[in-house]
Structure 1
């Protein structure tokens, strides 16, 4: 059943401003988590805008690299394609090349999805790794400190695509999800895990996202068609960083670029 929540969104002029806002958000949320709990467990997604943000975080000429509490960070992935780690489509490869190879993170701080394995095995191994790090028992779900999401032009998020089995998964931490639309398998965190995170934000840019974003936030509740509607944070607050093209059909933000929606379906 849908639950009420608040969406706070910020709208930025273009791709560079959006990437800089994302880099700053990663730093601020990681510092908050590290100060509160001594550790910042961050789950990240792929895509061109996250890539730009990761490059900024890794750039010694930018302020973000120095401000990030690298020694207290753990990096996880929200989802992964079922490809080897050196494949051009690998989310891990993108992140490694943009950031991981350039920042002071040790291998034991990085928890990738082994996309080169058989999908169910990759999902099981990733769930085992998460359970071990979070010391979970039984049906417990992990609580990530920061979790970054994107959204596809079909309304999918993570690798939870329209009309796929992952929409209905309630008990597991990680699943292998067959995506007929792309004739492929993906490995993804489940939506009950995603909504458990302390700080969840969407990073969305592009004209092709305006209509699906409008339907996700202001249209009828239909998560079978628009899986992003499943992301109703337990905290009651969902943040979105948007460029002006993606935000074109939402209520106009204020002079500072801030907008707010109360979702109660």
Structure 2
């Protein structure tokens, strides 16, 4: 694993740097493998990134969009990660609908939907032996140190034999990529903004710590790991 930690001046610089990095990864993946696979994150931080990518002229027919996790709500629900990404980016570009691979959330059975999405992923990545290798997985963290829907001291943290599982936040189910699937990625990119993330970042990036308490510590991909932080979040790193 190659690890990079960068503290950017502000959120505008954070978004610009993450856009440039993703554009670089798109070019490399398409030139080497003929397509680019990315798993998106939800939350407020990546929304301006998606809007910036919507303004780019890209080979959309070679890009496939997935999600690292999804709240268990219908696709048109205001809390849906899919809805946010569609409004900010996907519906604004010439991306084939068949290249958008959302997590299903309408069976009224999270376990069944998680299994269905895993089957969809296995159809898309037929060459995968144990786990597929996404070109890029975009992640954030919560103030509690969670990432995707991998929350502290929850059962999802123990799953090692599945690609997709059930996350749990205060009794509300979510669908999420598992730790080993994320760690199989060629590149994982964390975007972190805001002073409220400082405490979690200190624990996540410390040399030693408890990943069950701060699940983002579990993310150690086989490829590259980028932590891009705005100064409000990253000042604790600069001060160490």
CA distance in structure 2 between the partners assigned to 1:54 and 1:85 by the alignment: 18
- Which of 185, 198, 208 in structure 2 is aligned with 1:220? 208
The reply to whether residue 158 of structure 1 matches residue 145 of structure 2 is no
The reply to whether residue 50 of structure 1 matches residue 46 of structure 2 is yes
Query: In structure 1, what is the equivalent of residue 186 of structure 2?
Result: 198
The reply to whether residue 144 of structure 1 matches residue 148 of structure 2 is no
CA distance in structure 1 between the partners assigned to 2:239 and 2:6 by the alignment: 10
The reply to whether residue 238 of structure 1 matches residue 234 of structure 2 is no
CA distance in structure 2 between the partners assigned to 1:86 and 1:36 by the alignment: 36
Secondary structure of 2:3's partner? strand
CA distance in structure 2 between the partners assigned to 1:49 and 1:33 by the alignment: 25
- Which of 129, 135, 151 in structure 1 is aligned with 2:120? 129
The reply to whether residue 211 of structure 1 matches residue 199 of structure 2 is yes
Alpha-carbon distance, 1:18 to partner: 1.4
CA distance in structure 2 between the partners assigned to 1:171 and 1:131 by the alignment: 14
Q: Which moved more, 1:20-29 or 1:186-195?
A: 20-29
User: Normalised by the size of structure 1, how large is the TM-score?
Assistant: 0.86
Matched-pair contact (CA < 8 Å) for 1:178–1:186:
yes
Alpha-carbon distance, 1:58 to partner: 1.1
Q: Which moved more, 1:184-193 or 1:212-221?
A: 212-221
Matched-pair contact (CA < 8 Å) for 1:22–1:50:
no
Q: Which moved more, 1:6-15 or 1:82-91?
A: 6-15
Secondary structure of 1:241's partner? strand
Runs of 4+ with deviation above 2 angstroms: none
Alpha-carbon distance, 1:241 to partner: 1.1
Query: In structure 2, what is the equivalent of residue 263 of structure 1?
Result: none
Alpha-carbon distance, 1:25 to partner: 1.8
Matched-pair contact (CA < 8 Å) for 1:114–1:122:
yes
Matched-pair contact (CA < 8 Å) for 2:149–2:168:
no
Matched-pair contact (CA < 8 Å) for 2:183–2:220:
yes
Matched-pair contact (CA < 8 Å) for 1:155–1:227:
yes
Q: What's the CA shift string for 1:42-96, capped at 9, x where partnerless?
A: 111012121110111113xxxxx12x33221000000000000000000000001
Query: In structure 2, what is the equivalent of residue 21 of structure 1?
Result: 17
User: Normalised by the size of structure 2, how large is the TM-score?
Assistant: 0.95
Alpha-carbon distance, 1:249 to partner: 1.0
Alpha-carbon distance, 1:183 to partner: 2.5
Secondary structure of 1:75's partner? strand
- Which of 66, 71, 74 in structure 1 is aligned with 2:61? 71
Q: List runs of 5+ in structure 2 lacking aligned partners.
A: none
Query: In structure 2, what is the equivalent of residue 89 of structure 1?
Result: 79
Q: List runs of 5+ in structure 1 lacking aligned partners.
A: 60-64, 254-265
RMSD: 1.6
Give the number of aligned pairs.
239
